[in-house]
Amino acid sequence: MSKPLNEIKLAFGSDHAGFALKQELKAYIKEKVGAVEDFGTHSAESTDYPDYGHAVAAAIENGTADFGVLICGSGNGINMTANKHAGIRSALSWNAEVAELARLHNNANIVALPARFISTDEACKILDAFLRTAFEGGRHQRRVEKIAFEEKIH
């Protein structure tokens, strides 16, 4: 995707463990991107991460969002949930370099963050790297095309 940053529609989702970091990231990025939509949760009360992982993945699938940001305690559960959706390539990222490579080589469309293991400052760096990096294509394109599972009957 080659949209300018100020035209990107960004979808956020988190469980209770990621709620505070999500609020910080939304405030940080809202003036830089075209639109931000928060699919919840909307408090720090205990909740289930799949609800928000599915909602953000669906927004990307149906085109109402360009990219997603998902946050839970470890980042794992919400990342696994999003990756159950066809066409979603969610990447668990704990530093900016991992996020950059996820976009550059894997054409990731969601970044998943481990709220209990990174600072707000590091999360901002990760989000910046994720959003400023374009997919390289080339030799990576055929690999990305092989990610989606298609059962072949012989």
Q: Is 124 a catalytic residue?
A: no
Whether 16 sits among the annotated catalytic residues: the reply is no
- Indicate whether 24 belongs to any domain: yes
Q: Is residue 53 a part of any domain in this protein?
A: yes
Q: Dump pLDDT digits (tens) for 109-123.
A: 999 999 999 999 999
108 lies in some domain: yes
Which two structure tokens, joined as six digits, stand for 38? 């928060």
CATH number (domain holding residue 78): 3.40.1400.10
What is the total count of domains within the chain?
A: 1
Given the residues 72, 85, 124, 140, the one annotated as active site = 72
Would you state the structure tokens that stand for residue 149, as one six-digit string? 């599972």
DSSP H helices in 30-112: 49-61, 76-82, 96-106
pLDDT in tens, 52-78: 999 999 999 999 999 999 999 999 999
1 has a pLDDT exceeding 60? no
Tokens of 103: 């976009």
Tell me, yes or no, whether 153 lies in a domain.
Answer: no
Domain range spanning residue 121? 5-145
151 found inside a domain: no
154 part of a folded domain: no
Q: Which candidate in 16, 42, 85, 105 is catalytic?
A: 105
